[in-house]
Amino acid sequence: MTTKAGNKSMIKIIPLGGLGEIGLNMMVIEYENQLLIIDAGLMFPEEYMLGIDIVIPDMDYIKHRKSKVAGIILTHAHEDHIGALAYLLKEINVPPRIVTYGTPFTLGIVRHKLEEKELLAHTQLCEVKPGDRVVVGPFDMDIIEVSHSVVDGIGIAIRTKLGIIVHTGDFKINHSHEDGSITDVGKFARCGEEGVLALLSDSTNVEKKGYTISDKLVAETLEKIIEKSKNRIIVALFASSIIRIQQIVEIAKAKNRKVVFNGRSIEVGVKIARSLGHLTVDDDLEIGIGEVSRLPDNQVLIITTGSQGEPMSALARMASGMHKQIKIKKGDTVILSSKFIPGNEKAIAKIINQLFRRGADVIYEKISDIHVSGHAFQEELKLMLNLTRPKYFIPIHGEYRHLTLHAQLAGQVGIAEENILLAENGYVIHFDEEGGRIKSQIPTGRILIDGKGVGDVGKSILKERRALSEDGFVAVTLAFDEETGIIVYGPEIVSRGFVFETETGYLLEDAICVILEIVEDIGPEASNRLEKIKQRLQTDLRKYFSFAIKRRPLILPFILEV
């Protein structure tokens, strides 16, 4: 924890999430015995995480040092960067309150989230803008404008006695205001001239060669699709995709279509963006969802949520026929204007199939260029390296293959191999007058959120859920006379997700025989008899079912004395 050894300055960089995965982005920087937290993101559950709502980083390292947290700074408003903030603040936001810094749109989304969780009144938020210089404890930060798929994205340059640490945030490099914000390459270059100790750069799209395509080209594709359609248009996208929403609004206006915003997160994002001047919608262009049925189909354009297959989203309800106001009908054109996030493919495919069954024409990224990434391709990543000319390079934001490929890319532009620090979550990267190195590792991991439960579902619970989903369960009920030890009720067997009758015999009767044999083996004279019977029931029945039917259901014994 010490950041000075004698007269030597020391910096620690500790990723708690986002290195080795897509999402969960969270970084701690320690300097002068204080902590700066960059981002607090979540990730959506992977397929094996049955019943889990979201996943957040393990924050124990911060919780044990909460008195030394100088501040929190958020790079942009995507869930993988702000979605865990409320959980972090619940743990560490004790008086004096820790200040959370972010740009106006980012904090607009954050305020809404904190208000929902009844935390806003107890939280201190501070708006920053590109070009600002912000001092938080020992952290002297320049706020740098970057272009991303959400407005108000920033990178951060932190000045220290050892040099500048540059954190790019999520970024791409564009050269036109038509694409929204422009990445301030001049500012990054000036950091390079001053002397960058370490560059922490987004690795998400390192596999993609060349440059990201322009938002203008995507808008042209969308315009052609909308122009050809003779019926209703439904566009599903991320609520934070304000640049894309503005493009669609302009296309709707040019094609004489009224615009409907449907879905809670879309409505919130649009409201915040309009209040900040990021989005302009003429009053006579927007209509409410109740007015759709009064207009001809060729005059309606609906902007909605659900591009990732979220089960309760507006698009999912339309696809399943459960939406109260919008019923998909033959001739509707549905556009999914977003990238498929890894892990969501099956859910998205399900919705696409349902939409096709209802007669809609569905257009998505695999069949048309209707999405542009907000993450830099290889040539842009090289440019960032050349602009900042860092002494050390740390690839961030990506699965391990992304980090490795980005490290190789840094080697190609001249970064010395020994100065490329390929880290994962929990690695502690030290910098002092002797240089930079990965010196140690702290425990880290993932916390699973199930309803209101935080971290109470672990590997064993997931294992049980997986067993239940695959093989079901068998419940055995037995009651013994307390004095004689003779069975007075049962054995009764109830199962769910498991079939007793088989083509090879009567599994139920055979299972009862197994139970009675166990009871006979463990007679009334045995000490701790009920517990021993429970244990034998679980092991012997599982072995029997595995032998007889090649299944291993969860065995739930309910045994009592009366």
Task: For 364-380, write each residue's pLDDT tens digit.
Answer: 876 666 778 899 999 99
CA 523/CA 459 separation, integer angstroms: 36
For residue 270, what is the domain's CATH number?
A: 3.40.50.10710
- β-pair partners for 29: 13, 36
Per-residue CA distances from 390 to 188, 280, 377, 382, 396 (Å): 11, 40, 19, 12, 15
- The answer to the question of residue 1 being in a domain is no
Residue 46 lies in a domain: yes
Are the CB atoms for 380 and 388 separated by under 8 Å?
Answer: no
What b-and-e string marks burial along 84-114, b requiring 16 or more CB atoms within 10 Å of the CB? bbbbbbeebbeeeebbbbbbbbbbbbbebbb
Separation of alpha carbons 300 and 219, rounded Å: 18
Dihedral (CA of 98, 99, 101, 106) sign: positive
Nearest-angstrom CA–CA distance, 348 and 340: 8
- CATH number of domain containing 167: 3.60.15.10
Same domain, 410 and 552: no
523 inside domain: yes
Q: Are 263 and 342 within one domain?
A: yes
What is the Cβ-side half-sphere exposure of residue 280, based on CA atoms within 13 angstroms?
4
Cα–Cα distances in Å, from 32 out to 3, 8, 9, 236?
5, 11, 8, 47
Neighbours of 8 (CB within 10 A): 12
pTM: 0.82
pLDDT along the chain (562 residues), means of 10: 56 97 95 96 70 81 94 96 94 82 97 92 94 96 96 96 96 73 94 97 96 86 92 93 93 96 93 95 94 94 89 89 92 89 79 95 78 91 98 97 98 97 97 94 85 57 63 85 85 78 65 88 85 89 84 85 82
**Judgement on whether residues 485 and 511 belong to the same structural domain of the protein:** yes
- The torsion angles phi and psi of 75, rounded to 5 degrees, stand at -80, -30
Angle, CA 207 vertex, CA 205 and CA 209 arms, to 5°: 95
Residue 368 included in any domain: no
User: Which of 326, 345, 363 is at the close of a domain?
Assistant: 363
Considering the domain architecture, whether residues 349 and 389 belong to the same structural domain is answered as: no
- Residues 253 and 150 grouped into a single domain: no
Q: What radius of gyration do the chain's Cα atoms show?
A: 29
Query: CA 7, CA 111: separation in Å to the nearest integer?
Result: 42
What single DSSP character describes residue 204?
Answer: T
- The secondary structure of 470-513 as a DSSP string is HH-EEEEEEEE-TTT--EEEEEEEEEES---EETTEEHHHHHHH
HEC readout, 108-169: HHHHHHHHHCCCHHHCEEEECCCCCEEEECCEEEEEEECECCCCCCEEEEEEECCEEEEECC
**546 occurs within a structural domain:** yes
Residue 225 vs residues 243, 281, 293: alpha-carbon distances, Å: 18, 21, 22
- The Cα–Cα gap between 241 and 53 comes to 23
Which range marks the domain in which residue 265 is found?
215-363
**Do 339 and 436 fall into the same domain?**
no
pLDDT at res. 406: 98
**Quick one: how far is CA 372 from the chain centroid?**
19
The answer to whether 301 touches 235, Cβ cutoff 8 Å, is yes
Residue 86 falls inside a structural domain: yes
For position 455, what pLDDT does the model report? 52
In a domain, 37, yes or no: yes
Q: What is the C-alpha separation between 415 and 367, in angstroms, rounded? A: 39
Mark whether 393 and 348 lie in a shared domain: no
CA angle 101, 143, 140 (to 5 degrees): 80
Based on the fold, state whether residues 433 and 513 are members of the same structural domain.
no
Residue 367 carries which DSSP code? T
Q: What pLDDT sits at residue 506?
A: 73
418 token code pair: 């020994």
- Write down the pLDDT at residue 107: 97
Count how many domains the chain has: 3
Per-residue pLDDT tens for 371-411? 788 999 999 999 999 999 999 999 999 999 999 999 999 99
- What's 536's domain CATH number? 3.10.20.580
Closest to 207 in 3D by CA, of 306, 77, 308, 342: 342
Looking at 454, 488, 504, the residue that finishes a domain is 454
- Which of 338, 363, 388 is a domain's end point? 363
Q: Are residues 310 and 402 in the same domain?
A: no
Check whether residue 441 and residue 293 sit in a common domain: no
Q: Closest Cα partner for 519 from 543, 537, 541? A: 537
- 483 and 341 in a single domain? The answer is no
| Pair 173, 224 in one domain | no
What is the helix (H) or strand (E) element at residue 261, kind and residue range?
A: strand 258-262
In a domain, 499, yes or no: yes
What does the alpha-carbon distance between residue 105 and residue 77 come to, in Å, rounded to a whole number? 7
| H helix or E strand, kind and range, residue 518 | helix 507-521
How high is the pLDDT of residue 505? 52
